[in-house]
Structure 1
Amino acid sequence: MRAIVVGAGDVGYDVARLLSLQRHDVTVVDADPAKVDHVRDTLDVLAVLGSGTSAATLRKAQIEDADLVVAVTDVDEVNVIASMLAERVGKSAHETTTIARVRSDEFTGPHAVLTLADFGIDHIIHPEQSTANEVISLLRRAAATDIVDFCQERVQLVGIRVERDAEVVGMSLIELAQSSPLPFRVMGISRGVRTIVPSGDATIQGGDQVFVLVETGRVAEVARVLGKEAGRLRHVMILGGTSVGARVAAGLAGRSRRDGGMEVKLVEKDRKRAEYLAETLEGVLVIHGDPADIDLLAREGLAETDAVVAVTEDEESNLVSCLMAKHLEVKKTVALLSKSAYIPISQSIGLDAAVSQKLAVSREVLRFLRGAHVRSVATVHGLDAEIMELVADEGAPITRVPLARLRLPKGILLGAVVGDRVEIATGTTHVEPGQRAVVFATPERAGDVEPLFSS
């Protein structure tokens, strides 16, 4: 497949890297010479210097032959225009799929006069909102390090770190399943830098990050099975009034008004931004100050806070703030990170969870790469695998026999089937046409999954 990525910032660079790893022909377009040089020096892709709003630049990138255009610059208007040009100029022998990063509610809000469909954009990516939603889900499930929804939020993949003194340490997965009547499926185990595709005789070790597929609403029960008490977070401090921070605060305050459960403080360094947020965020206490000032945070009650969410634009500051919060025995810390070097070590050095805006974009791009039967694709920190949600065709191989007789290739694991009800998969599970399934696949097997669901 030939793909063009417009924008070579952090998000665009990661998308280009992902597409290149998948062995696609990739061209990156950016108006910044330094970013173009960086792409040329570090990635096995072509790079074109110029604006994504220029038809001449896009033609130089061979837009006429592109199957996919991903516009992810920091400017919404550039992304919209680049997608429009791709739809006009690139629409020759075949359709060009366009994906645009758009952060403004002017296009995506419920009262928008013009929708992105009017501009010929096939799919919208809103990394900030997706990241904020992930943070809110993590705070609602205090024991979880990761939460991903599937099948219209009927099934959840939950990451839980096992304490070294937990009763489940040393148990095999068969023994774990026999010890609890709760239906769940362990989809993967992250142990150090290794990703383990679990079999029944695999054992749980202290420090493992266990990824469990379970019906939505039963996360607290799974946490208890693995030796974690879910608890409830009542006081949250958000460090940074960025777009993500403001959206998290608005989401938590909205839930707080409905269930009467959560107090939210937000610390923002820029006075004008702090004043704006104080006026617009109902039910949130906005504090003007430096989120990296530990003395300020201590005066504002950091030690009595249940959760700290660090979402400033300074990743090092986010890490340090969360580590200080853990030192003061804050129950849960969540940091916004994007550098690939930080994410794998974040939990090993003491953080409870990390979120990344780049992952939101990568998941959407992966969905298009995996085929028509794939409804969503998830990747999570610490797990070198893809978790896909697919729909089965009439006559597809996956529908012909029960799972025990299907003999799925090593590296592919079917976790749940969703139709009229949610069924956690066992050997007797039989996937019916039209049902949705959640499948775990290691990177080398990811391309083998979609044909199982196609006729």
Structure 2
Amino acid sequence: MKIVIIGDGKVGYMLAKKLSEEDYDIVLIDSNEKKLGEAMNRLDVFCVTGEGGSVEVQKSAGVPEADLVIACTSTDECNMLSCLIARRLGARHTIARVRNPIYFKQIDILKEDLHLSMAVNPEMTVAGEISRLLLVPSASKVETFVKGRVELIEFPVIGDSSLVGMSLAQMYAKYQIKVLVCAVERESNVFIPDGEYVMQAGDRLHMAASHAEINDFFKTLGHKKAQTKIRRVLICGGGRVSYYLATRLCNMGMQVKIIEKDSEKCENLCEILPKVTIINGDASDHDLLIEEGIGETDAFIALTGMDEENIIMALFAQSQQVPKVIVKINEERRARMVEDFGLDSVVSAKTATADAILSYVRARRNSQGSANVETMYQLVDGKVEALEFAIKAKTRYTDIPLKELSLKSNNLIACIVRNRKIIYPSGDDCIRVGDNVIVVTMEKQIQDIEEILL
């Protein structure tokens, strides 16, 4: 499968890295020759220097023979134009990164006219991720499957937790709540555990369940955050993520306040977000944060364009006992450092965008098979993948009790969704045509459930 990526920025480079590791034929286009040289030295990709919106550049990159063109430059107009030209030249599918709220409001029209296969809005994707975290305050990450019916959450086991010293089998028996621990991260090690796994302080559990069951689980454990209903939210930074997030939170009935130091941005936000309190000021000023009621807020979200600034503000919010603190980090290498500080809810626009596009690519590659990848998330720095398969046709593993199927090690069929019902499978359950099946695996580049069977 030949894929052409236009734009060697953070998202473009991450996509090129991940897709080249999966043995796709990758061509990278960018006008910055130095950046392309660095990419060629580090990745197994072919590079073409030039503007992505140029017909000649696209031809030299082999766009007419491409299965997919992904335009992810910093400019929406360039991305849409590049995709239009790519389709005219013969590319089979195109994906454009579109960030401007005005464009995204009419994305259905644009997709039709430009023949886009997919449009990705990184800021809107991150806003959705943050809003899910506010609905499950005890979790440090929340991903969704089967149109939100199943959530995969990550949370740390703290030192005084009742889970410390308890096996997973004992936990299931004691609490009688339908949840399933799919993966555990302990220091630098990752496990897909069985019932005998004994939890320790510092473990990071990845758990699948419905939204209601997850909330019930945390309340039963007595988590303080689970008792907190988020009503008042303080956002630092007035960029696009803040706009999309504030719009969502207002629709959910929350009180939202945004602090932004650019006066022009503040005026614009006042016009487009009439229900939100907009403060023109420097959110890194601790006195200002105290004056604006950081001590009484339920959630603090640091969304400026500077990682260091976000970290410092989030640490201050943590020191003020804010129940839920979320920080946006652009550089991957800083994410782990932030978690060491105790700031466990970290979001990244480029990671969310890359996951969305990778899910689409996986789905295209196996669209003729018996199962289709609907959703895919990478966990624990890519060491674990959680995939949602839609079962489209009868195969050797359908209608067979799971106890008669042998799975390779480090693989788990986490749950089956059938007619909106969530099934945590036992050995007597089976997979049927029409089911959505969530698989957690430490294998790489899984395309079909067949690949996790012996």
Instruction: Please give the secondary structure, in 2, of the residue aligned with 1:218.
Output: helix
2:317–2:325 contact (8 Å) kept in structure 1: yes
Q: How many Å apart are 1:357 and its aligned residue?
A: 0.8
| Pairing partner for 1:358 from 333, 350, 354 | 350
Q: Of 287, 306, 316, which residue of structure 1 is paired with 2:308? A: 316
Distance 2:4 2:50 in 1: 13
Q: Tell me the SS of whatever aligns to 1:330.
A: coil
Aligned residue for 2:88, secondary structure, equals helix
Distance (whole Å) between structure 1 residues aligned to residue 335 and residue 315 of structure 2: 14
Compute the RMSD of aligned alpha carbons. Answer: 2.0
Q: Which residue does the alignment assign to 1:237?
A: 234
Distance in structure 1 (CA, Å) of the matches to 2:342 and 2:331: 17
**SS of structure 2 residue aligned to 1:236:** strand
- State the secondary structure of the residue aligned to 2:446: helix
1:449 to 1:4, Cα distance in 2 relative to 1, 3 A: same
CA contact (8 A) 1:213 1:415 kept: yes
1:390 deviates by 0.7
Match of 2:321 in 1: 329
Flag the 1:298–1:107 CA change in 2: closer, same or farther, 3 A: closer
CA distance in structure 2 between the partners assigned to 1:266 and 1:322 by the alignment: 15
Q: Which amino acid aligns with 2:430?
A: H
Cα offset, 1:443, TM superposition: 4.0
Residue 428 of structure 1 aligns to which amino acid in structure 2? Answer: D
Query: Which residue of structure 1 lines up, in the alignment, with residue 387 of structure 2?
Result: 388
Letter in 2 for 1:276: N
Task: Name 1:170's counterpart in structure 2.
Answer: 165
CA shift at 1:103, angstroms? 1.9
Q: Is the 8 A contact 1:188 1:383 kept in 2?
A: no
- In the alignment, which residue of structure 2 is the partner of 1:306? 298
Aligned counterpart, 2:413:
414
1:365 Cα offset (Å): 2.4
Aligned to 1:193: 188
Aligned to 1:99: 95
Equivalent residues of 1:441, 1:449 under 8 A apart:
no
On the 8 A contact 2:236/2:301 being kept in 1, the answer is: yes
- Specify every segment of 5 or more residues in structure 2 that has no aligned partner in the other structure, as ranges: none
Residue 349 (1) aligns with residue 348 (2): no
Q: Which runs of 5+ in 1 are unaligned?
A: 257-261
- CA–CA distance in structure 1, aligned partners of residues 125 and 397 of structure 2: 31
Query: Structure 1 vs Structure 2: percent identity of aligned residues?
Result: 29
Contact kept in structure 1, 2:20 and 2:44, CA below 8 Å: yes
Q: Secondary structure at the match of 2:386?
A: strand
Q: Are residues 227 and 21 of structure 1, via their aligned partners in 2, closer, same or farther at CA, if it must alter by over 3 Å? A: farther
User: Are residue 135 (structure 1) and residue 134 (structure 2) matched?
Assistant: no
Aligned position for 2:74: 74
Q: Distance in 2 between matches of 1:113 and 1:450?
A: 33
Change in CA separation of 1:301 and 1:377 when aligned onto 2, cut-off 3 Å: same
Preserved CA contact (<8 Å) 1:146 1:380: no
Conserved 8 A contact 2:122-2:352: yes
> Matched residues in 2 for 1:273 and 1:350: separation?
31
**Secondary structure, in 3 states, of the residue corresponding to 2:153?**
strand
Structure 1 383/28 Cα, relative in aligned 2: closer, same or farther at 3 Å? closer
CA contact (8 A) 1:235 1:305 kept: yes
- Count of aligned pairs: 443
Evaluate the alpha carbon distance shift between residue 448 and residue 108 of structure 1 in structure 2; reply closer, same or farther with a 3 A threshold.
closer
Q: Deviations over 1:313-339 (max 9, x none)?
A: 101111111111112211111111121
Q: Aligned match of 2:179 in 180, 184, 187?
A: 184
- Post-superposition CA distance 1:378-431 (Å, at most 9, x none): 124556211111112332233141112211111221111111221122222211
Large movers: runs of 4+ above 6 Å: none
Alignment-derived partner of residue 35 in structure 1: 35
CA distance in structure 1 between the partners assigned to 2:124 and 2:148 by the alignment = 17
Q: Which amino acid aligns with 2:285?
A: D
Normalising by the residue count of structure 2, what TM-score does the alignment of the two structures yield? Answer: 0.92
Contact 2:163–2:199 (CA<8 Å) still a contact in 1?
yes
Contact 2:4 2:70 in 1 (8 A): yes
**Deviation of 1:295 (Å):** 2.1
- Give, in angstroms, the shift of residue 302 of structure 1: 1.8
SS in 1 for 2:383: strand
Give the distance between the partners of 1:237 and 1:190, measured in 2 at CA. 31
2:84 is equivalent to residue 88 of structure 1 = no
Aligned to 1:247: 244
1:40 CA displacement = 2.8
SS of equivalent residue, structure 2 residue 305: coil
1:148 and 1:35 mapped to 2: Cα distance?
Answer: 32
* Contact 1:149 1:157 (8 Å CA) reproduced: yes
1:58 is paired with a residue of what secondary structure? Answer: helix
The letter for the 2-side match of 1:121 is L
1:49 alignment partner in structure 2: 49
- Does 1:213 find its partner at 2:208? yes
Q: How many angstroms apart in 1 are the aligned matches of 2:107 and 2:401? A: 47
For residue 58 of structure 1, report the CA deviation from its aligned partner.
1.0
Aligned to 1:259: none
| Equivalent residue in structure 1 for 2:197, among 170, 193, 202 | 202
3-state SS of paired residue (2:56) = helix
CA–CA separation in structure 2 for the residues paired with 1:344 and 1:90? 42
Secondary structure at 2:40 match in 1: helix
- 1:428 maps to which residue? 428
User: Of 143, 155, 162, which aligns to 2:150?
Assistant: 155
- Asked if structure 1 preserves the Cα contact closer than 8 Å seen for 2:410 and 2:441, the reply is yes
Deviation at 1:39, TM superposition (A): 2.0
> Structure 2 vs 1, CA of residues 285 and 24 (structure 1 numbering), >3 Å: closer, same or farther?
same
Aligned residue in 2 for 1:405: 404
Could you say if the C-alpha distance between residues 365 and 450 of structure 1 is closer, same or farther in structure 2, counting changes exceeding 3 Å?
farther
Distance 2:181 2:97 in 1: 33
**Amino acid of the residue matched to residue 346 of structure 2?**
A
Residue 339 in structure 1 maps to residue 339 in structure 2: no
C-alpha deviation, 1:174, in angstroms: 0.9
Partner of 1:160: helix, strand, or coil?
A: strand
> C-alpha displacement at 1:184, in angstroms?
1.3
Check conservation: 2:232, 2:255, Cα contact below 8 A.
yes
Normalised to the residue count of structure 1, the TM-score between the two structures is 0.92
